[in-house]
Structure 1
Amino acid sequence: MSPRPTIGVLLPNTGRGASPAAIREFAALAEDAGVDSLWVGDHIALSGAQETEYPYADSHDASYEVPAQLPFLEAFTSLGFAAAVTSRCRLGLGVGILPYRHPLMWAKLAGTVQVLSEGRFDFGVGTGWMREEFDALGADHARRGPVSNATLGVLAALRNSSDGLFSFHGDGFDIREMGVYPSIRDPAPPPIWVGGNVRAAATRAARYGDVWFPHIYGMSPEVLGCRLRELQEEAVSFGRDVTLRAGVFSPLRLASDVTGDPWSTGTISGPPSYVADLLMRYRAAGIEHITLTFGGSPTRRIAVIEEVLDQFSG
């Protein structure tokens, strides 16, 4: 029997309960419970008049799960704080929106968290989706794919560069003999997790990533496993010496009854035994990691994840 997948959960850095005390308490409880990684999302500004449809739910409700009027603590600051109050859990960004920042800013932020966490950082990246946020930041929503690819190209060059000053010319970037320390190569490169479900995102993972990290919506274990094998071959065709891995991101709702397949609804919903069996189906298909998101106080969140983890005991 395959070992269970590694399991990550989101830190309480959003919503009414977001606070230093909540992050500190939850992180400590999560490590004690056996959670493998702690994650945060990346938004800078949320729209109070959002019209862009959230792409990972069957209802196509336009509203994002965190209302614009509630706290959303900055991602890298939250991870740096979590690094100081943990010692074992990996710390993940799920996922950083590449067009929002310059590649050197990405390198500096990722490298700093990698240093502060002593090598425990998982660097998730994606193209983003909320047009209103792009507009507010002066970013080009229509060109988010090409801009993301160009940013990853710079980061790949920096990641593979030798010690010394870094230069890069092309794809709209002109970087001349700049020292970037720490960066994504120091002290060791964090693995890059490429989010997104569409074909372009999967190809981006094969070209630049270490892990493909789609949302569960539209991704049954069989579909995701088949696509992973295709992408592993695609990575080889790009000349990369890497075995691409896969994780999956999903909201979780514990319930007495199963309420639909999560690849149809966008949410894992059912009793703990069902959740554990489903996670093992993904693991058997070659998916090594699951990140789960759900709300509540730190103690309530821990109670939820312990109900799931208990299913793998004994």
Structure 2
Amino acid sequence: MPLFPSRKAISPEPRSPAASIVQVGPEHAGQRLDNFLLRLCKGVPKSHLYKAIRGGQVRVNKGRTSADYRLEEGDAVRIPPLRLPSPGEKPPVPKAAFPIVYEDDALLVIDKPSGVAVHGGSGVSFGVIEQLRASRPQGAFLELAHRLDRETSGLLLVGKTRKALLALHDMFREGAGRKHYLALVEGDWVNDRQHIRRPLLKWLTASGERRVKVDPQGKPAHTIVTLRQRYGRYSLVDAELRTGRTHQIRVHLRSEGFPIVGDDKYGNDATREYFARRGFGRMFLHAWRLDIPHPSTGGLLELRAELPQDCERLLAQLGEGDK
């Protein structure tokens, strides 16, 4: 027997795929490195990307860096070979067409339906932004400019360039735009117009679910509520956000004793179940109006999304005396 096995008995090592170098264009200047990689390396688990960054396998201009590094135009990003998930790990994101309210080279505005998350995470594998990207593979850049709760319908802004996205973020932060929502609440709303200024604090339930409550230790929050129509034991109100806190309208209205119909976090279970049996199985909160300066030109954009048909039908029933 030979002392060493023949070469034919040894299986050669598979050749590893080479790393790639991607140069950052102007549309991604200012974006965080981790978000850039998540967009570029579709299907790769987040944990793999962060491990590659921490381990120095991802480099920018040949140097190690952190996940929150802000990219600059011309940066050379080294992307190592990354393992894609196995076929059973995650289903592909399905394409979806959403009603377009407005679109140009800088901005896309859609009318989001209720029940659809705006992005993946927290038990949701994909949302509106992932479906938009799947439907527009040629799009170089699509990023959410703000958020809507999953059960809230209405106007949703998406930046199509990095510059436009940052301008929209600045606008919302500085309160330059006007955001109006329509909500059907329990109770006979008294004042024609009312300012609610109550600080809001985030907290977690015992099961780890995110909640918000009125608390002196919270962040300042301001909502302007205008009565639109009375329906006996219910009222349709317009809620204008002057700040943009999580669940702000829902918690502010609840704090006044007027919870939103169908709200599964801050509303009344009996009311939600009653309307669900009658065919209305969502929260009645709709982002119907946005008046904002255009992120590129500064001109006024007056965006509108009328109430969905299920909400209109419910109001018609209430108006006919179904109270």
**TM-score, normalised on structure 2?**
0.23
Of structures 1 and 2, the larger Rg is shown by 2
- Give the structure with the larger helix fraction: 1
**TM-score, normalised on structure 1?**
0.23
